[in-house]
Amino acid sequence: MSKIIRIGTRDSELALWQAKTVQSQLEHLGHKTQLVPVKSDGDLKLDKPIYELGITGVFTKILDVAMLNNEIDIAVHSLKDVPTLLPKGIVQAAVLKRGNVRDTLVYKNNEEFLSQKHAVIATGSLRRKAQWLNRYPTHTVVGLRGNVNTRLQKLEESDWNGAIFAAAGIGRIGLTPEEAINLEWMIPAPAQGAIMITAREEDEDFRAICSEINHEETEICTTIERQFLNLLEGGCSAPIGALAFIKNEEVTFQGVLLSLDGSKKIEVNRKEKLGSHHNIAQFAANYILDRGGNRLMDDLKNVDKQTQIYSTKTLTEAQRHLFKNIKVDSSDFLKISLNRIPKPVLKSKIDNVIITSQNAVEAITRVFPKEELQFKNIYCVGRRTKKLIESKIGKVKHSENNAKALADYLVDFIDGTEVTYFCSDIRLDELPAILEENNIKVNEVEAYKTILDAAKIDATVEGVMFYSPSTVESYMQNNKADKIAYCIGDTTATEAKKYFKDVRVAKIPTVESVIELVNENYK
């Protein structure tokens, strides 16, 4: 073929090295070529991390456009930068033999900081950051962007201990310093170290030419890695690592998914005979997703979303994952300080005891073990409070879902005319008022103090979850009642209605039921 092959490439030193490598191999086969350098958005916008640029294929998009406009015939990319789904009309034409797949730590002075509690490492990769923090959780990781030369210069001019690079990147342009070590423990990005050539799907001649320099072993391994990435639905915004290699006619695969802060890590390893390797990516992705990967990916997808719902009680991880595509934040709007209840109060025999919160249980058992308590009849509010009482104090004679219902029950069925009520310094008057109106004496014991401590939440938050009248009171100290109030029960809802126009009540008084109430609003 006599036509000159126009090779599109970014104009960074590394990209040009890669394009010239392709050019050299094609010309060695007798083809005429011409380099066509262009500048990508990823090269121009150096003030933001890659994952914040808001587009996929940040380093490849401009070459895709040039190819579809017939300005170039083929394009050369670092395969790890290429989206797993190529634009319509563009296909992978070849993958060159892979270089060093590893990440390299370039350090200043010495490596002693690796054994120290505090150190600063630079990288623009979420994958590298997450894996580093998983291994060195007390270290600090800072952002680093730019081409290889720029990043090395920034490291030299900084007070950082080191920075992480792709070994192939700094090695190909001869910039690997003596103060550098390969991170054998760090799983690289899918297809790291590989050079890819793309072409128009319709250009059979160019595709045929490129296939002459395709390296089959590299193609097999990088295909597995990129399928794994695609099945996890990850890109630059997800800390995903993958590495496949072939040895003795056997394909070995390693994959990893981490949380952004590195605190959670799910790994997978798989080996298959060459020829039986086609399901490795599917197996590995399913393995990761079935072991908490679904939750991690949901968290990663919600990272950049604005908080829609705020909970006035810190949610557990299991509770957070009950929300359906809703960005939720939470904190405790009430702080509890347990009082030291006088021993004589607890040492005496008490016929009727009322406990309406788990905090009261903790205050009581902090003074005396259950064996020394002499409570004849215990009445309580709430399923979880009942469970805690029976675990730490004794059998509950009767429980209700709210204080009013318990008061109404006691009016009819109490054994005697006196109760001891272990409560907070902040409590509703409803229960003691109903009892006293019906000639039942209430001896209140302040078991704990409730401190109102509400966060100031963003105006864009659409709804707030409340679990007690006190959480409503706390919220109102620092925030406006211009949102939907999702309440755990009628008593809480009564308080919320003093301020909020839209108040909704859960079917049963549990956190999970309030979450279900929120989900119904976002169907």
What's the CATH superfamily of 216-300?
Porphobilinogen deaminase, C-terminal domain (3.30.160.40)
Rounded to whole angstroms, the Cα distance separating 166 from 194 reads: 11
Print pLDDT tens along the chain (523 aa). Answer: 458 999 999 888 889 999 999 999 999 999 999 999 986 554 444 444 434 433 344 567 888 888 888 999 999 999 998 988 888 899 999 999 999 999 999 998 888 899 999 999 999 899 999 999 999 999 999 998 888 888 999 999 999 999 999 999 999 988 888 889 999 999 999 999 999 999 999 999 999 999 999 999 999 999 999 999 999 976 556 899 999 999 999 999 999 999 989 999 999 999 999 999 999 999 999 999 999 888 888 777 766 678 899 999 999 888 988 888 788 999 999 999 999 988 888 878 899 999 999 999 999 998 888 888 889 999 999 888 999 999 999 999 999 988 899 999 999 999 899 999 999 988 778 899 999 999 999 999 999 999 999 999 999 999 999 998 999 999 999 999 999 999 998 889 999 999 999 999 999 888 999 999 999 988 7
Top CATH class of 305-333+453-521 equals alpha beta
CATH of domain 1-96+191-214: 3.40.190.10
- What is the pLDDT at residue 345? 83
Q: What are phi and psi of 485, to 5 degrees?
A: -100, 115
Per-residue DSSP letter, 522: T
Closest CA to 116 of 95, 138, 94: 138
Beta bridge partners of 106: 163, 180
Helix 148-157 to helix 13-28 angle (10° resolution) is: 150
Q: What is the set of active-site residues? A: 81
Contact 390/396 with Cβ under 8 angstroms?
A: yes
- What is the pLDDT at residue 518? 95
Closest CA to 283 of 235, 231, 244: 231
- What is the pLDDT at residue 235? 55
Q: What's the Cα-to-Cα distance from 331 to each of 116, 213, 270, 313, 456, rounded to whole Å? A: 33, 58, 41, 5, 11
**How would DSSP label each residue in 138-165?**
TSEEE---S-HHHHHHHHHHS--SEEEE
**How would DSSP label each residue in 281-318?**
HHHHHHHHIIIIIHHHHHHHHTTTSPP-EEESSPPPHH
Report residue 224 as tokens: 């597995």
- What is the pLDDT at residue 321? 82
Element (H or E) spanning 516, and its range? helix 511-521
Closest CA to 399 of 242, 509, 310: 509
Residue spans in the chain of domains classed CATH 3.40.50.10090? 305-333+453-521, 336-451
HSE on the CB side for 328, CA within 13 Å? 26
Residue spans in the chain of domains classed CATH 3.40.190.10? 1-96+191-214, 103-182
- What is the pLDDT at residue 61? 82
CA angle 501, 453, 310 (to 5 degrees): 50
Q: What are phi and psi of 515, to 5 degrees?
A: -60, -40
Beta bridge partners of 463: 309, 484
- Residue 472: how many CB atoms within 10 A of its CB? 27
Q: What are phi and psi of 34, to 5 degrees?
A: -145, 130
Please list the alpha-helical segments (H only) found in 252-398.
280-288, 294-301, 317-320, 343-347, 358-367, 383-392
HSE on the CB side for 161, CA within 13 Å? 15
- What is the pLDDT at residue 40? 57
Residue spans in the chain of domains classed CATH 3.30.160.40? 216-300
User: Is the Cα dihedral 230, 232, 236, 242 positive or negative?
Assistant: negative
Rounded to whole angstroms, the Cα distance separating 306 from 291 reads: 27
- What is the pLDDT at residue 369? 84
Architecture of domain 103-182: 3-Layer(aba) Sandwich (3.40)
**How would DSSP label each residue in 435-454?**
HHHTT-EEEEEEEEEEEE--
Helix, strand, or coil here: 226?
helix
Q: Is 430 exposed, middle or buried, given 0-12, 13-18 or 19+ CB atoms closer than 10 A?
A: middle
Rounded to whole angstroms, the Cα distance separating 196 from 60 reads: 11
CATH 3.40.50.10090 fits 336-451, yes or no: yes
HSE on the CB side for 32, CA within 13 Å? 4
Question: How many Å from the N-terminal Cα to the C-terminal Cα in the chain?
Answer: 59
pTM of the model: 0.64
